[in-house]
């Protein structure tokens, strides 16, 4: 659904637009709850699993950890943690179960995830959702959910904790702030509200900002740096008017490769990799491309769903998983960019 760009940076507009849109799509779905109601809803369950997406990042880990400490429950992730997600988990001292069977829990709260495919086979029948992606993928079927267009899930979780009168430990505040720093690209994509939340987290946790930054400065290992350098050096660059679109193949670290291509000058970058019988493509775009109306969340969703898969994320960073040949899927991604950019 196309949106007038001039409204897109207006948080209240987005929220009311999104609420209206979701309710119009799911007339029987009344399970959207507010942050202040979270405690009452979660209190109906005895054994709760806070479930992070595949390759769980600091926003997912920090959010799941803070919710589990405040309301009780276990933290888990599907398949693995990202490099920085792993570093965050270590610093805040949370044990993260990897792909546990959901049978032992009477509710899974899916955190920071909008697309079913990011959860593999783990998604249980009874689940709730706390997320900041603009995607209706998991809303149908959720027992209850909070989904708002915030810059990070951590900011939503902070509101949940405050509005339910929870005390916050140093580790909870640190995990949330690290999640925010990571998802906002060190506040490059922050909203005014993000800075307010960050200040409150620093005061609540009693640590320095630098300490939170340090958590994310994990050096990439040499195999990752080699893979990303090779992927950027063999990338295909296409000029579409004033826009440069780069695409490449790499069999891991797709997100890092796409980000590296945008860092060195591409307006839009796609990196595709094979994972068993599936193809994963990560996409990133420059701020200029976003300002021109390019929305990778939509684009990757469309291409993913057209090829027996799905995709989503944010306007400037998204991914898909689908079936097919990497070159065919990359070509389709590039075509869709051409249709959208002037």
Footprint of Mn ion (CB under 5 A) = 59, 112, 153, 183
**Which residue do the tokens 């783990």 mark?**
122
Encoding tokens for residue 170?
């140093």
99 contact partners, CB below 8 Å, separation of at least 6: 76, 77, 78, 79, 120, 122
CA torsion sign for 203, 207, 210, 215 is negative
Q: How far is CA 273 from CA 4, 38, 248, 313, 314, in A?
A: 34, 38, 9, 18, 20
Residue 133 Cβ vs Mn ion, minimum distance, rounded to whole Å: 7
Residue 230 Cβ vs Mn ion, minimum distance, rounded to whole Å: 28
Q: Compare residues 135 and 249 and give the one whose CB is closer to Mn ion.
A: 135
Q: Compare residues 255 and 326 and give the one whose CB is closer to Mn ion.
A: 255
Q: Compare residues 32 and 53 and give the one whose CB is closer to Mn ion.
A: 53
Residue 178 Cβ vs Mn ion, minimum distance, rounded to whole Å: 12
Residue 276 Cβ vs Mn ion, minimum distance, rounded to whole Å: 25
Residue 180 Cβ vs Mn ion, minimum distance, rounded to whole Å: 9
**Which residue do the tokens 């990897």 mark?**
98
Q: Compare residues 183 and 254 and give the one whose CB is closer to Mn ion.
A: 183
Q: Which residue is nearest to Mn ion (CB)?
A: 59
Q: Compare residues 112 and 298 and give the one whose CB is closer to Mn ion.
A: 112
Q: Compare residues 150 and 285 and give the one whose CB is closer to Mn ion.
A: 150
Residue 246 Cβ vs Mn ion, minimum distance, rounded to whole Å: 24
Exposure string (b/e) for 5-25, b if CB count within 10 Å is 16 or more? eeebeeeeebeebbeeebeee
Q: What is the layout of strands, in order, in the sheet containing 236-240? A: 236-240, 243-249, 268-275, 278-285, 317-322, 310-313
Give the separation between CA 71 and CA 65, rounded to whole angstroms.
10
Give the separation between CA 298 and CA 82, rounded to whole angstroms.
24
Q: Compare residues 135 and 183 and give the one whose CB is closer to Mn ion.
A: 183
Give the separation between CA 162 and CA 185, rounded to whole angstroms.
25
Residue 118 Cβ vs Mn ion, minimum distance, rounded to whole Å: 11
């Amino acid at each position: 659904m196309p949106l007038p760009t001039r409204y897109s940076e207006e948080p209240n507009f987005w929220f009311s637009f999104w609420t209206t849109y979701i309710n119009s799509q799911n007339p029987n779905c009344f399970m959207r709850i507010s942050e202040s109601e979270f405690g009452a809803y979660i209190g109906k369950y005895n054994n709760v699993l806070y479930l992070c997406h595949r390759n769980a990042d600091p926003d997912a880990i920090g959010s799941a950890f803070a919710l589990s400490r405040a309301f009780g429950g276990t933290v888990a992730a599907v398949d693995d943690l990202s490099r920085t997600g792993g570093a965050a988990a270590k610093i805040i001292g949370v044990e993260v179960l990897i792909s546990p069977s959901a049978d032992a829990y009477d509710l899974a709260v899916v955190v920071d995830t909008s697309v079913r495919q990011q959860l593999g086979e783990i998604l249980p029948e009874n689940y709730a959702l706390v997320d900041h992606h603009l995607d209706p993928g998991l809303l149908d079927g959720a027992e209850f959910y909070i989904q708002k267009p915030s810059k990070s899930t951590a900011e939503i979780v902070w509101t949940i904790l405050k509005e339910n009168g929870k005390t916050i430990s140093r580790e909870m505040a640190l995990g949330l702030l690290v999640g925010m720093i990571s998802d906002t690209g060190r506040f490059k994509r922050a909203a005014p509200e993000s800075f307010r939340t960050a200040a409150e987290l620093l005061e609540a946790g009693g640590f320095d900002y630098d300490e939170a930054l340090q958590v994310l400065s994990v050096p990439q290992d040499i195999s990752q740096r080699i893979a990303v350098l090779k992927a950027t050096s063999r990338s295909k660059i296409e000029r579409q008017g004033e826009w440069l679109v780069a695409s490449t193949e790499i069999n891991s670290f797709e997100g890092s490769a796409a980000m590296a291509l945008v860092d060195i000058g591409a307006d839009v970058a796609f990196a595709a990799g094979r994972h068993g019988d599936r193809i994963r493509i990560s996409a990133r775009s420059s701020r200029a491309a976003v300002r021109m109306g390019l929305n990778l969340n939509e684009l990757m969703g469309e291409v993913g769903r057209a090829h027996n898969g799905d995709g989503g994320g944010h306007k400037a960073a998204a991914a898909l998983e689908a079936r097919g040949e990497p070159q065919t899927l990359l070509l389709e991604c590039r075509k869709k960019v051409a249709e959208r950019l002037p």
